[in-house]
Structure 1
Amino acid sequence: MPVFVLGGTGYVGSSVVRELRARSHVVRALARSDASEGKARALGAEPVRGELRDLDILRGAVAQADAVVSCAQEPSAQGVTAERNALVAMLNALPDGRTFVYTSGVWVYGSRGDALIDEDAPLAPLDLVAWRPEHEEIVLSHRHRLRIVVLRPGLVYGDGGGIPGMLVEQGRTGPVRVVGDGANRWPTVRHDALAELYADVVEKPAARGIYNATRGASVPYVEIAHAASRAAGGDGRVEHIALEDARPQMGPFADALAADQNIDSSKATRELGWEPHRPTLLEELANTSVI
Structure 2
Amino acid sequence: MKVFVTGATGWIGSATVDELLAAGHDVIGLARSDASAAALEAKGATVLRGDLDDLDSLRHGALNADAVVHLANKHDWANPAATNAAERGAVETIADVLVGTDRPFVLAAGISGLVQGRPALESDRSPAVGPDSPRGGSENLALDYADKGVRVVGVRFAPTVHGVGDHGFTSFLVAAARRHGVSGHVGDGAHAWSAVHLTDAARLVRLGLENAPAGSLLHAVAEEAVPLRVIAESIGAALDLPVAAVAPEDAAAHFGFVARFAGLDMSASSARTRDLLGWTPSGPTLAQDIAAGAYSAR
Instruction: Report the TM-score when normalising by structure 2.
Output: 0.86
Query: For 1:107, what is the secondary structure of its paired residue?
Result: coil
Once the two structures are superposed, the pairs formed by residues 96-115 of structure 1 within 5 Å of their partners are 96-112=101-117, 115=118
* Residues 1:189 and 2:196 aligned together: yes
1:222 aligns with 2:229: yes
% identical aligned pairs: 34
> In structure 2, what is the Cα distance between the partners aligned to 1:165 and 1:252?
12
For structure 1, which segment, 129-138 or 8-17, has the greater mean C-alpha deviation from structure 2 after superposition? 129-138
Contact 1:178 1:239 in 2 (8 A): yes
Distance 1:131 1:262, change over 3 A: closer
- Deviation string, structure 1 residues 193-229 (Cα, Å, up to 9, x no partner): 0000000011115464211220134111121112123
Letter of the aligned partner of 2:120 in structure 1? I
- 1:146-201 alpha-carbon deviations (Å, 9 max, x no partner): 10101111121111413223333444452234333321111101111000000001
For the aligned residue pairs, the C-alpha RMSD in angstroms reads 2.4
Decide which of 123, 138, 147 is 2:151's aligned counterpart. Answer: 147
Contact 1:37 1:47 in 2 (8 A): yes
**Structure 2 residue 174 is matched with structure 1 residue 168:** yes
Mapped pair 1:119 → 2:126: no
SS of residue matched to 1:148: strand
Residues in 1 aligned to 2:193 and 2:267: alpha-carbon distance in whole angstroms? 8
Equivalent residues of 2:3, 2:25 under 8 A apart: yes
Deviates more, 1:256-265 or 1:193-202: 256-265
The aligned residue for residue 85 of structure 1 is 89
SS in 2 for 1:141: helix
Which of 274, 279, 287 pairs up with 1:274?
279
Which SS does the other structure have where 1:188 is aligned?
Answer: strand
**What is the CA-CA distance between 1:251 and the residue it aligns to?**
7.8
Asked if structure 2 preserves the Cα contact closer than 8 Å seen for 1:108 and 1:132, the reply is: no
Gaps of 5+ in 2: none
Structure 2 counterpart of 1:176, one-letter code: S
1:86-128, Cα deviation, whole Å (9 max, x unpaired): 111111112521110110011131432xx24312235457xxx
Secondary structure of the residue that 1:57 maps to in structure 2? helix
C-alpha spacing 1:203/1:60, structure 2 compared with 1 (3 Å): same
1:238 to 220, 229, 243: 243
Q: Distance in 1 between matches of 2:154 and 2:282?
A: 22
1:5 deviation in Å? 0.6
How has the CA–CA distance of structure 1 residues 249 and 135 changed in structure 2, closer, same or farther, with 3 Å as cutoff? farther
Structure 1 distance, partners of 2:70, 2:283, is 24
Deviation at 1:85, TM superposition (A): 1.0
| 1:29 Cα offset (Å) | 1.0
What's the offset of the Cα at 1:249?
7.9
- Asked if the contact 1:171/1:234 (under 8 Å) is kept, the reply is no
Query: In the alignment, what sits opposite 2:65?
Result: 65
Which segments of 5 or more consecutive residues in structure 1 lack a partner in the other structure? none
CA distance in 2, matches of 1:124, 1:94: 25
Q: Which moved more, 1:155-164 or 1:204-213?
A: 204-213
Q: Distance in 2 between matches of 1:170 and 1:251?
A: 8
Deviation track 1:45-82 (CA, whole Å, cap 9, x = no partner) reads 22211110111111011001111111111033211111
Q: Would you say 1:13 and 2:18 are equivalent positions?
A: no
Whole-angstrom distance in 2 between the partners of 1:240 and 1:165: 18
On the 8 A contact 1:108/1:133 being kept in 2, the answer is: no
1:201 aligns with 2:205: no
The question of 1:137 aligning with 2:137 is answered no
Shift of the 244–131 alpha-carbon distance from structure 1 to 2, 3 Å rule, reads: same
1:245 positional shift: 3.4
Rounded to whole Å, the distance in 1 between the matches of 2:39 and 2:267 is 35
Say which of 190, 198, 219 aligns to 1:212.
219
Q: In 2, are the aligned partners of 1:184 and 1:221 still within 8 Å (CA)?
A: yes
| CA displacement at 1:6 relative to structure 2 | 0.7
Q: Distance in 1 between matches of 2:253 and 2:177?
A: 22
Residues paired across the two proteins, number? 284
Q: Does the 8 Å CA contact 2:17/2:27 hold for their aligned counterparts?
A: yes
Distance 1:123 1:63, change over 3 A: closer
